[in-house]
Amino acid sequence: MTIDKRIADDLAANGVSFVTTVPCKQLAGVIEEIDQRDDIFHIPSNKEDEGMGLCAGAWMGGKRPAIIMQNTAIGVTINTLATLIQYYRMPLPMLISYRGELREPVACQVEMAVHTKALLAQMNIPTYHFHWQRDVEEFDNILKYTFMCNKPVAILTDANFWGGYGDQ
C-alpha cells in the first residue's frame, strides 16, 4: 500500500468525508488519491485560510473535515485558526507539507520552515513531524485524538517522508 493510499484510508476510516487542498508538489500523490475516492468529498482551495473556512462550514454541516496544505502559508492562517477553528473548538486535522526542511531544494522555502513549529506552538496546536515513512503508523491515532478533543492538529510531513525530490 502506498503512503498516499494509507493516508486516504485513515482519513476515511476516521469519518473524514470532506477534504480541501491547496496544491503542493510533495502532496500531489495524496491529493490525487483523495480526489479519486467516492467516500471523501474533495474541493480544492485557492488559499489555506479559505480552505479552513470551507472546513468550518463542513464541520457546522455535520461533516468531519481535513485540510491538506503547505507550511509556507501558516502565517496567513493564524487569524482563521484562532478566531474560527480554535474559538469554536473545531477539530481540524491539517496534513502539512513541511517545505524548507532537510532535502528541500528551494532556498526561499527555508525561511518559513524556521518559523512553522514556533507559530504552531505559540497557538498551542499539537504538532507531529513525519520524517520517516513509518511515521504514518501514527496517523490513525492522531486523527482519533483531534476528533476526541475538538482541536486542530498539525501533521508536518517533510521531503524525506515523501521520498525526497528524486535525489535518492
In degrees rounded to 5, what are phi and psi of residue 153? Answer: -135, 135
Report the C-alpha gap between 113 and 129 in whole angstroms.
12
Task: Name the helix (H) or strand (E) containing 57.
Answer: helix 48-60
Report the C-alpha gap between 139 and 154 in whole angstroms.
11
**CB-based contacts of 146: which residues, under 8 Å, 6+ apart?**
91, 92, 93, 126, 152, 153
Report the C-alpha gap between 112 and 131 in whole angstroms.
18
32-53 pLDDT, tens per residue?
999 999 999 999 999 999 999 9
Three cell numbers written together for 156: 508536518
Three cell numbers written together for 85: 477553528
Task: Name the helix (H) or strand (E) containing 21.
Answer: strand 16-21
pLDDT band at 168 (very low <50, low <70, confident <90, very high): very low
Report the C-alpha gap between 72 and 109 in whole angstroms.
7
pLDDT exceeds 50 at position 146: yes
The answer to whether the beta carbons of residues 98 and 113 sit under 8 Å apart is: yes
Query: What is residue 166's predicted lDDT score, i.e. its pLDDT?
Result: 56
3-state secondary structure of 146: helix
Whether pTM exceeds 0.85: yes
Extended strands (E) in 46-119: 64-70, 92-97
Over residues 68-96, the mean pLDDT reads: 96
More confident: 66 or 106: 66
pLDDT exceeds 80 at position 165: no
Over residues 60-81, the mean pLDDT reads: 96
90-143 pLDDT, tens per residue?
999 999 999 988 778 888 888 899 999 999 999 999 999 999 999 999 999 999
